[in-house]
Amino acid sequence: MNRVCSAIAAFALFAVAGAAHAAENRCGWIQNPTPGNWWLNDAEDTWTIRTQGSEDEPEGMDLIPDISERDYVRTNGSYGYACACMKVDTDGDGRITRIHSFKQLKLAQCRNDKALKFPG
């Protein structure tokens, strides 16, 4: 009986720990201002996706298409920003560690969201 209780307790602890790491839905300005630099500004924070020269690239980075092919603002040659929603994992230090999904939105959606700071 003790083994059954221990197994149930271990399973419950594992389930709670897994739920604590559920992917977060983050929407806001996705910025690629210069080569290799990517971040997302949502209503809560600025989330670093990737920095130039860093080997740390989140799993799922390939899910981000060429954002300049859709509703996009150029700020530095072919670099700039767009509006997007992403399902991600974060590390608690402002970094996105995994991208589960990416959806680019119309610029107007971010422009009309008063909780977002305009990229600049």
CATH of the domain at 40: 2.40.50
Q: Are 79 and 45 spatial neighbours (Cβ–Cβ below 8 Å)?
A: no
Residue 4 confidence (pLDDT) = 43
In a domain, 39, yes or no: yes
Q: Model's pTM, two decimal places?
A: 0.80
In a domain, 62, yes or no: yes
Statement: residue 17 has pLDDT above 50: no
Average pLDDT for the chain: 86
Statement: residue 12 has pLDDT above 50: no
The C-alpha angle 110, 114, 118, rounded to 5 degrees, equals: 55
Residue 21 confidence (pLDDT) = 66
**In percent, how much of the chain has pLDDT > 90?**
73
Domain count, the chain: 1
The tens digit of pLDDT for each residue in 42-61 reads 999 999 999 998 878 899 99
In a domain, 15, yes or no: no
In a domain, 2, yes or no: no
- Could you give the 3-state DSSP secondary structure of residue 39? strand
Residue 120 confidence (pLDDT) = 66
Q: Which domain holds residue 71?
A: 23-111
